[in-house]
Amino acid sequence: MNEEYEEFDLIEEIIRNDGSKYFEISNIDQNGIAELAVDHGLIKNVRILQLNIPRTKALVIYEKYINQNYHLETLNNERDWKNPTWIEWEKPKGKILDSYNLVLKSNQIG
């Protein structure tokens, strides 16, 4: 669980080490952690596809779920940026997955 709530405002494409890809909704801090994960060989590549996505109800639902269920590493914590980990966030069926898909669809991603 995260001590500080993080708002999401971008969509990125993550390429796993096996070459498969997925999209993630995050923010510039989490994108920085993803870039470090690339440098450490935890994922193959990351790139930002959309910046400044609208703060819709669907975005807030997904964002709250991630903040409540995952420890979000931060570039403000030296331990996080020196030894990043990479956890692909699960998107459970139902309200969370529907919200995630709606954010992607409304931003013409996927």
Q: In this model, does residue 3 exceed pLDDT 80? A: no
Report the alpha-carbon angle 26-51-103, nearest 5. 60
Can you give the residue ranges of every domain in the chain?
10-107
pLDDT average, residue stretch 28-57: 95
pLDDT at 2: 46
Number of H helices, E strands in the chain: 4, 3
CB 61 within 8 A of CB 95: yes
Evaluate whether 62 touches 98 at the Cβ level (below 8 Å).
Answer: no
Q: Does the pLDDT of residue 16 top 60, yes or no?
A: yes
What's the pLDDT tens digit per position in 74-100? 777 777 667 778 999 999 999 999 999
Phi, psi of 83 (to 5 degrees): -135, 70
User: How many C-beta atoms lie closer than 10 Å to residue 87's C-beta?
Assistant: 11
pTM: 0.91
Q: Give me the chain's average pLDDT, please.
A: 92
With a cut of 50, say whether residue 10 has pLDDT above it.
Answer: yes
